[in-house]
Structure 1
Amino acid sequence: MSAAREALLDRCMAYLQDSGFSDLSIREIAAGVGTSHRMLIYHFGTREQLLVAIVERIEAAQRTALADLVSPEGDLTEVGRQFWRRVSDPTLAPATRLFFEIYSHAIYRRPWTDSFRATVVDAWAEPLAELLVQRGFDPAEARQRARLGLAATRGLILDLLVTGEREILDAAGDLLSELLVQPTRATGSGAGSTATLRAEEQT
């Protein structure tokens, strides 16, 4: 990515956080960030490709934030709680709405969503699964838990955007963080699973 393109993307992201522009034309976006629509077309191609680039940048920043929360011996449940508070922060609502707008187009496999579809799941699920494997989960189960956690978190965020019911959804996010790292009775997988199962049997 060229320095000029990256700087322009930074300006678009700042404008998004302040105003939101999912319903604006490329000319209106250009005016809002203080450039010409020709410059946006030159660097990004189309309005839709610009929006995808913004969402991909935001998603990458969120993955970095999650990685920064994780420590080798840290409590994954607490990591999940902290990350939920981050991604559900009201200041991120314009970017989150844009994410789901692009997601809805990806469902129909619009050609301009190709790069988005290539990363929207795997870029999250693979490192999450690896983290669970490091904590003692079977690789196959770790992949399942990673996909479950990703899908459920996005569902909770969508619920929050639509209903605004912060209290119950914060509680649901906390519960999800707990459930995702609990061992299953069938396999007993996960770090500390034997002790956990014994404790359950004694209650």
Structure 2
Amino acid sequence: MIETSPRDRLLAAAIDHIAHHRGTEKSLRALAADLGTSHRMLIYHFGSKEGLLTAVAREVEARQRAALTGLDPAEFWRRLTDDDLRANERLFFQLYGQALGGTPGTTGLLDGVIDDWLGPIEALLAEHGVPEADRAAHARLGLAVARGLLLDLVTTGDREAVDAAMAHFLARYRQLA
């Protein structure tokens, strides 16, 4: 049995809570109460409400990168656009904007926000026959398209349109292989 730290347990609870209750608008004290802890414990482990939310976004991103391995791109897209991830995706984009603006507690989100994805995407592209010389550019393009369509989805809710756009994009990659 793997032992988890108190921080890891709080982070897991926060991820679940935000996914199901959109608690990002709440104060740190209210979030702490919802998580069954004190605001002091959240400050101890995460530094601030923004630090907690940034840790949530980074962990959700890490889980999605891990899920990329072994999935067909269309399957991965279906996973990313699952309704259960919508609150976390909305949080990601909110924090991304705050981090770009230098909001304290959020700037850590920028560490690896692009680079951490490029390796796994390049590996997927290799599996699909994209030449090595082209993989870095295609990985960056694929990440940009996926993030842009996810932003479209959280903004408009138009699942049919973003799915159609992604299907069109993926069809072009099937032509390359």
| Residue 5 (structure 2) aligns with | 3
Runs of 4+ aligned residues of structure 1 deviating over 6 Å after TM superposition are none
| Residue 72 (structure 1) aligns with | none
Among 6, 16, 21, which residue is 1:14 paired with?
A: 16
| Residue 148 (structure 1) aligns with | 141
Residues in 2 aligned to 1:85 and 1:59: alpha-carbon distance in whole angstroms: 15
* Preserved CA contact (<8 Å) 1:80 1:174: no
Residues in 1 aligned to 2:120 and 2:160: alpha-carbon distance in whole angstroms: 29
* Preserved CA contact (<8 Å) 2:47 2:105: no
TM-score normalised to structure 2 length: 0.90
> Unpaired segments of 5 or more residues in structure 1?
70-78, 184-190, 192-203
Among 73, 88, 92, which residue is 1:95 paired with?
A: 88
Q: Which moves more between the two structures, 106-115 or 162-171?
A: 106-115
TM-score normalised to structure 1 length: 0.79
Q: Please say if 1:128 is aligned against 2:130.
A: no
Among 35, 38, 41, which residue is 1:39 paired with?
A: 41
Residues in 2 aligned to 1:127 and 1:96: alpha-carbon distance in whole angstroms: 19
Q: Please say if 1:28 is aligned against 2:30.
A: yes
| 1:1-203 equivalent positions in 2, closer than 5 A | 3-69=5-71, 79-133=72-126, 135-183=128-176, 191=177
Please give the per-residue CA displacement for 1:59-93, whole angstroms capped at 9, x wherever unaligned: 11111111142xxxxxxxxx111111111111211
Residues in 1 aligned to 2:19 and 2:127: alpha-carbon distance in whole angstroms: 36
SS class of match (1:137): coil
**Offset of 1:118 from its aligned partner?**
1.4
Residues 126 and 163 of structure 1: CA distance in aligned 2, closer, same or farther (over 3 Å): same
Residues in 2 aligned to 1:171 and 1:20: alpha-carbon distance in whole angstroms: 27
Residues in 2 aligned to 1:135 and 1:86: alpha-carbon distance in whole angstroms: 19
Residues in 2 aligned to 1:122 and 1:111: alpha-carbon distance in whole angstroms: 22
The code of the aligned residue for 1:115 comes to G
Residues in 2 aligned to 1:42 and 1:157: alpha-carbon distance in whole angstroms: 33
* Preserved CA contact (<8 Å) 1:132 1:142: yes
Higher-Rg structure is 1
**Offset of 1:111 from its aligned partner?**
4.8
Residues in 2 aligned to 1:125 and 1:14: alpha-carbon distance in whole angstroms: 27
> Unpaired segments of 5 or more residues in structure 2?
none
**Offset of 1:15 from its aligned partner?**
1.0
